[in-house]
């Protein structure tokens, strides 16, 4: 079993790396934040000084980085993977980036006979820690099948969805649906408060009916408890919706709901809620309505 490279040891990348080590893989890791690197080294990983140095030692490299420019820099920039990777190397980019960027990066890598999968994940920090992420993978199907065991060490649902870029299209669709769902929940709970009905009662009454959803179960209790510690930070959802809207513009897809919710999120960011869980969308409605959504929900 050869060494696997891992570039990006943030909120998602660090627990994913730990799960790969637990699964028995040898890792070579790189991140600008040295305490994260040293934490992985203490668990048995090797440290590298640059993405290019990772590529010298590994023929499969996972990236988990904030956005398209960071992935482009790590893979194609100075001291990047492309400078030192051997032909036949495979990049598995688990970052959430614009699909068009994934296709452009993959085309540049292909010129050097380097393969790439775009494999964004869903499940947040908790899913990364528990190795229960959902992973949507775009790229050559044979390359996917070769890398599937690695991905199954960090995720419980690993699905090939099509050619390169398709993984990020699926992730953006997921993020648009999640944002619209959360906004709908916040809107409904605010309606209940303004109409004089306990929002906790509303939640309990509708959770078994046609309005039931995973987001209702996950986010309504946070709104009712006014508990906005991050599971998935609002700032990260803003980043994803930025890619949703960019992609919609590129392909000519109308996205009026996503655009509206983006403006709501930007308003909350300006009010210093950006590092809170995305369920904090309820605060946008509370501000407009002059009311507070509260309850005592134990699920």
The CATH number corresponding to 4-163 among 3.90.1280.10, 3.40.50.720, 3.40.710.10, 3.30.420.310 equals 3.40.50.720
In this prediction, residues 231-256 reach a mean pLDDT of 96
Pairing of strands 115-118, 4-7: unpaired
The set of residues, in sequence order, having a beta carbon less than 8 Å from that of 276 and lying 6+ positions away, is 228, 229, 230, 233, 234
Q: Mean pLDDT across the stretch 265-282?
A: 98
d(CA 260, CA 281): 12
Q: What average pLDDT is seen over the chain?
A: 96
1 — pLDDT class (breaks 50, 70, 90):
low
**In the chain, what percentage of residues exceed pLDDT 70?**
98
The CA-based angle 147-149-151, given to 5 degrees, is 70
The β-bridge relationship of strands 133-138 and 155-162 is parallel
**78 burial level (CB within 10 Å; 0-12, 13-18, 19+):** exposed
pLDDT digits (tens, 9 = 90+) for 34-61: 999 999 999 999 999 999 999 999 999 9
Reported pTM:
0.91
Catalytic residues: 171
| pLDDT at residue number 298 | 46
Whether residue 135 is predicted with pLDDT greater than 90 in this model: the reply is yes
pLDDT at 296: 57
Topology agreement, domain 4-163 and domain 169-289: no
pLDDT digits (tens, 9 = 90+) for 7-35: 999 999 999 999 999 999 999 999 999 99
* One CATH from 1.10.1040.10, 3.40.1160.10, 3.30.1490.20, 3.40.50.150 for 169-289: 1.10.1040.10
> If pLDDT is split at 50, 70 and 90, which confidence band does 299 have?
very low
Give me the mean pLDDT over the 151-162 stretch. 98
Determine the Cα angle at 26 with ends 21 and 31, to 5°: 80
Mean pLDDT of 126-154: 97
pLDDT confidence band for 237 (50 / 70 / 90): very high
Annotated domain spans of the chain: 4-163, 169-289
Binning pLDDT at 50, 70 and 90, where does residue 2 land?
confident
């Amino acid at each position: 079993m050869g060494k696997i490279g891992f570039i990006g040891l943030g909120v998602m990348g660090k627990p994913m790396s730990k799960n790969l080590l637990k699964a028995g893989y040898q890792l070579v890791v790189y991140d600008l934040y040295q305490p994260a690197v040293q934490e992985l080294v203490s668990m048995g990983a090797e440290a590298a000084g640059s993405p290019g140095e990772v590529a010298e030692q590994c023929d499969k490299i996972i990236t988990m980085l904030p956005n398209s420019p960071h992935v482009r820099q790590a893979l194609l920039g100075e001291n990047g993977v492309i400078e030192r990777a051997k032909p036949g190397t495979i990049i598995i980019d688990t970052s959430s980036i614009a699909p068009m960027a994934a296709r452009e990066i993959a085309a540049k890598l292909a010129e050097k006979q380097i393969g790439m999968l775009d494999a964004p994940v869903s499940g947040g920090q908790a899913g990364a820690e528990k190795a229960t992420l959902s992973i949507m993978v775009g790229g050559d199907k044979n390359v996917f099948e070769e890398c599937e065991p690695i991905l199954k060490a960090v995720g419980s649902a690993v699905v090939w969805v099509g050619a390169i870029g398709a993984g990020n299209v699926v992730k953006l669709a997921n993020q648009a649906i999640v944002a619209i769902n959360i906004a709908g929940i916040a809107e409904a709970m605010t309606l209940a408060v303004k109409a004089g009905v306990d929002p906790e009662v509303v939640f309990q009454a509708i959770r078994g009916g046609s309005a039931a959803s995973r987001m209702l179960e996950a986010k309504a209790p946070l709104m009712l408890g006014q508990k906005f510690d991050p599971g998935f930070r609002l700032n990260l959802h803003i980043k994803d919706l930025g890619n949703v809207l960019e992609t919609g513009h590129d392909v000519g897809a109308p996205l009026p709901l996503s655009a509206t919710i983006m403006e709501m999120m930007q308003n909350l960011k300006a009010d210093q809620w950006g590092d809170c869980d995305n369920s904090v969308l309820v605060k946008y409605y509370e501000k407009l309505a002059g009311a507070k959504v509260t309850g005592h929900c134990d699920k």
